Amino acid sequence: MNKYLDLGGEVAEALAKGLPVVALESTIISHGMPYPQNVETALMVEAAVREAGAVPATIAILGGRLKAGLDRSQITALGLRGREVVKASRRDLPRLVASAGGPAPMDGATTVAATMIVAALAGIRIFATGGIGGVHRGAESSFDISADLEELAITEVAVICAGAKSILDLPKTLEYLETKGVPVIGWRTDEFPAFYTPHSGLRLEEHADDAADIARRLKAKWGLGLGGGAVIANPIAEADAMDKLVIDAAIEDALKDAASKGVKGKDVTPFLLAKVKELTGGESLESNIALVLGNARLAAAIAVEYAKLK
Ligand code: PSU
Ligand code: MN
């Protein structure tokens, strides 16, 4: 066990017994959704993982300690503080962890990248979230490419998501993942989903229809010593999806607003998420909650099958 990491009691027990565990991120709680829906969703997601036969491990940094497995009060505190909590990606981990030994131990909410790192340290291979970060539109001049993609290239954790939001440049995001050797597996689809809608028009080469099949592919990837992660792209259910015209218009407005305000760096994604939610009057939040729950269920099913292979 890494000396900077604490496992929650239930998570430690499950891992010791080789039972299925699903990692969950915390930036989606602090920066991805408003209070109180963020806390309600995080707790519902944990319940959905349990119902599907796995143990949830929500990941964050509290008082400078890496945590895999938060309790209800810890999740609630992160949700209440929201964007005051440090959004922690790979490069933020050292200073946050070092703060434990200083006068002011810090808290951090982990992005997809940082959650993958902590999950891997804990021995958790399966991780559910809403959407991954990617190559931003205009990256050819801004150089804005999420550290999530680099992490998927090197860290052995599979991320179950609803694709990526079209706040990003989805074709470039898929090209990047191909370059880095990251499998992108469509769940019962041949198309990369666009988060709020099941369709992006972008074809995937790989699809799977059952969780056992995905588990075997992950086993093969890591058994081959290839390292790195995988993206399991689970389209939002049609019933929960947004109207494409409505969401596209909101995203265009949000992007213009971000550009005119000069939003940069790690603030870009949270700014766009909040703006889209504001512009769609909360409809996007409902879709977001529904798709995260769907991803949690699929991740648990994959974790159950993966545990059988050990
Ligand atoms: N996309 C979403 N919801 C989110 C995020 C992305 O639809 O909550 C969060 C995730 O934590 C992701 C992070 O890892 O934003 C990516 O931020 P950046 O683009 O700064 O790498
Ligand atoms: Mn960025």
For a pocket test of ligand 1, which of 38, 78, 89, 111 has the largest count of ligand atoms closer than 8 A to its C-beta? 111
Q: How many angstroms is it from 249 CA to the middle of ligand 1?
A: 20
| Domains of the chain: total | 1
CB 112 less than 6 A from any atom of ligand 1:
yes
Task: Specify the pLDDT at position 282.
Answer: 87
Q: What CATH number has the domain bearing residue 187?
A: 3.40.1790.10
Interatomic CA distance for residues 146 and 230, integer angstroms? 16
CB 273 less than 6 A from any atom of ligand 1:
yes
Query: Is-contact 119 59, C-beta < 8 A?
Result: yes
Domain that holds residue 126: 5-308
Q: How many angstroms is it from 289 CA to the middle of ligand 1?
A: 15
Q: How many angstroms is it from 215 CA to the middle of ligand 2?
A: 30
CB 269 less than 6 A from any atom of ligand 1:
yes
For a pocket test of ligand 1, which of 269, 273, 287 has the largest count of ligand atoms closer than 8 A to its C-beta? 269
Interatomic CA distance for residues 155 and 147, integer angstroms? 12
Nearest to 295 by CA among 205, 220, 214, 181: 214
Digit-by-digit pLDDT tens for the chain (310 residues) are 999 999 999 999 999 999 999 999 999 999 999 999 999 999 999 999 999 999 999 999 999 999 999 999 999 999 999 999 999 999 999 999 999 999 999 999 999 999 999 999 999 999 999 999 999 999 999 999 999 999 999 999 999 999 999 999 999 999 999 999 999 999 999 999 999 999 999 999 999 999 999 999 999 999 999 999 999 999 999 999 999 999 999 999 999 999 999 999 999 999 999 999 999 988 999 999 999 999 999 999 999 999 999 7
Q: What is residue 280's three-state secondary structure? A: coil
Q: How many angstroms is it from 32 CA to the middle of ligand 1?
A: 7
pTM for the full predicted model: 0.98
Interatomic CA distance for residues 248 and 222, integer angstroms? 37
Q: What is residue 184's three-state secondary structure? A: strand
H/E element, 179 = helix 170-179
Task: Specify the pLDDT at position 281.
Answer: 86
Q: What is residue 181's three-state secondary structure? A: coil
Please name every residue paired with 108 in a beta bridge, in sequence order, or none if there are none.
Answer: 61, 86
Residue 43 burial (10 A CB sphere; 0-12, 13-18, 19+): middle
Active-site residues, by number, are: 25, 165
Q: Which of the ligands is closest to the CA of residue 271?
A: 1
Task: Specify the pLDDT at position 70.
Answer: 98
Please name every residue paired with 5 in a beta bridge, in sequence order, or none if there are none.
Answer: 66
